[in-house]
Amino acid sequence: MEIRLYFTKKGYPALWEKGGGMTNTGSAQIIANADGTAKKPVYIRRSGTLANSDHALFIISPGDLVIQAYHHRKDFSINIYRIACIKDDEAICEKINSFDMGEWTFDPPEYLLPAIEAAKEKALCYHCRSPHFTTE
């Protein structure tokens, strides 16, 4: 899978933590280090249209994780990707696990549980306006 990258003013590849919930649906994208820990954002949006939008910008590198969660009435679909490489303006990602129809492909490792929970919380957060998984 390819994810379109953003670039910082200094030219570093970056991705946004984004998303939030509405009445019955929601989505979220969380960025984590390769070991599942929270990253430090280079920028946090504090003005403009924030509800269910881009909230925190993170510089990424191969090995980092992207967790995408979607729900409809709390029935979740979650995909966990590892960034394999960065080519031009895209992060090439490999799916390492997924949750659908109430089951994981295989049980996620313990170190990923906080990031997965943060993705679920963000997808449920009504009109979310702030990041959920950062070191700040």
Q: Is 118 helix (H, G, I), strand (E, B) or coil?
A: helix
Per-residue pLDDT tens over the stretch 103-120: 999 999 999 999 999 999
User: What CA–CA distance (Å, rounded) separates 115 from 131?
Assistant: 12
User: What pLDDT sits at residue 1?
Assistant: 87
The secondary element (H helix, E strand) that includes residue 119 is: helix 113-124
Q: Name the residue with tokens 């924030």.
A: 50
Q: Residue 136: pLDDT above 80?
A: no
Q: For residue 121, give the nearest of 39, 55, 28 by alpha carbon.
A: 28
CATH of 2-124, one of 2.40.128, 2.60.40, 2.30.30, 3.40.630: 2.60.40
User: What pLDDT sits at residue 53?
Assistant: 92
Q: How many helices (DSSP H) and strands (DSSP E) are in the chain?
A: 1, 10
Distances in Å between the Cα of 79 and the Cα atoms of 48, 71, 104, 126 are 29, 12, 10, 21
Q: Would you place residue 127 in the very low, low, confident or very high pLDDT band (cuts 50, 70, 90)? A: very high
Range list of β-strands (E), the chain: 2-4, 6-7, 13-21, 25-32, 43-44, 54-59, 65-72, 75-87, 90-100, 103-104
Q: Residue 14: pLDDT above 80?
A: yes
Q: Would you place residue 83 in the very low, low, confident or very high pLDDT band (cuts 50, 70, 90)? A: very high
Domain boundaries of the chain, sorted by first residue: 2-124
